Amino acid sequence: MPDDEKDEFELQNEKIRARMDRIGRKIMIMSGKGGVGKTTVTVNLANELADMGCTVGVLDTDLHGPNVAKMFGVEGATLSSADGVSFLPVEVRPNLKVISLSFALEDQDAPVIWRGSMKMGAIRQFLGDCEWGDLDYLLIDTPPGTGDEQLTVCQAIPELTGTVIVTTPQDVAVLDARKSVNFSRKMGVAIIGVIENMSGLVCPHCGKEIPIFGKGGGRRMCSDMHVPFLGEIPMEMDLREAEDEGKDWSHVGASHPSRKALYDIANEINNGTACSTGRDTSFLGTPGCKPSACASCTANCPSRKK
Ligand SMILES: Nc1ncnc2c1ncn2[C@@H]1O[C@H](COP(=O)(O)OP(=O)(O)OP(=O)(O)O)[C@@H](O)[C@H]1O
Ligand SMILES: [Mg+2]
């Protein structure tokens, strides 16, 4: 890399560091296989955490198929800038903001045909130039796999809190999810836990469960690979409809089993009690702590803001 480019890269690293220093927990949501529900999980955990009073940012790094804006019901929003250099995330609710390449695309049907270096540049720009301000959480949605996007996030944010790995129960999805576990280990990033999504279909007529993709594959993988299991989210037609319509699912009652599952998972993560496997969870902070209260907290905890 020529010297001037190296300087520019280092300058951008400093910008990223300064922005990330103002954010409590930075969590990357990933999966081996596509379509298993990463974006659904990201959007719903964000809504649940926002309901719990946390300030939350969502970064969509799925540059080829950005769906976050649609699921939040803010598609069509455009990026704005206060100073002509940095840009502001789009506000979903006062304590929930989102940034996605889809806000910069004039034609939503136009394919984004980018090589790895361009994707790396875009993600680094999102991290360095987006005015998040102080956040308790930054949830980072990714495309499937362990490629450019995941690598860029891990390298640009060395202090990433951890990964949440989403899988469906069947063997072919679990096989790929194992790669996400090993990716996190290779990158030295903590695994907050694995979520088994589409874990049985609740029949809208009789309420009984049909194991379309099987059941328990995610949990079995966790015990086999010694990683924490965060929970099972059943398939629900109403949830899919809510995502298509950009509706906030966190406001429906707990009679919806997928909503209850998403709430429980968000609660576990927020209280630092995720990973009930006896594993050291100190990287998540003191149980019960709220990162926005860090400044006045005296506990000796790694997530404490200086
Ligand atoms: N538990 C669920 N019940 C019903 N529908 C679901 C559930 N989880 C996800 N879906 C639906 O499945 C589809 C795929 O989900 P989603 O887009 O979140 O997957 P993804 O892993 O982000 O996909 P990609 O790999 O393309 O980014 C969406 O239409 C979503 O609404
Ligand atoms: Mg997605």
Domain that holds residue 32: 3-296
Please report whether residue 279 resides in a domain: yes
Please report whether residue 12 resides in a domain: yes
pLDDT at 281: 57
Query: What is the tally of structural domains in the chain?
Result: 1
pLDDT tens, residue by residue, 23-73: 999 999 999 999 999 999 999 999 999 999 999 999 999 999 999 999 999
Please report whether residue 105 resides in a domain: yes
Please report whether residue 302 resides in a domain: no
Please report whether residue 114 resides in a domain: yes
Report the nearest-CA residue for atom 31 of ligand 1.
240
Please report whether residue 303 resides in a domain: no
Report the nearest-CA residue for atom 28 of ligand 1.
240
* Alpha-helical runs (H) found in the chain: 3-20, 38-51, 68-72, 116-129, 148-156, 171-187, 217-225, 237-245, 257-270
Please report whether residue 301 resides in a domain: no
Atom number of ligand 1 nearest to Cα 36: 21
Going from the C-alpha of 234 to that of each of 41, 83, 188, 263, 289, the distances in angstroms are: 12, 45, 31, 13, 29
pLDDT tens, residue by residue, 89-102: 999 999 999 999 99
Report the nearest-CA residue for atom 3 of ligand 1.
235
Per the CB < 8 A criterion, the answer to whether 197 and 166 are in contact is yes
Atom number of ligand 1 nearest to Cα 41: 18
Please report whether residue 205 resides in a domain: yes
Kindly report the CATH number assigned to the domain that includes residue 171.
3.40.50.300
> Which ligand ends up closest to the CA of 199?
1
pLDDT tens, residue by residue, 252-301: 987 899 999 999 999 989 886 544 334 455 556 555 555 556 556 665 55
Residues with CB under 6 A from ligand 1: 31, 34-40, 62, 65, 67, 143-144, 197-198, 233, 235-236, 239-240, 243, 258
Residue owning tokens 């499937």: 144
Using left for φ > 0, alpha for ψ between -120 and 50, and beta otherwise, residue 40 falls in: alpha
**Stated pTM of the model:** 0.91
Report the nearest-CA residue for atom 8 of ligand 1.
37
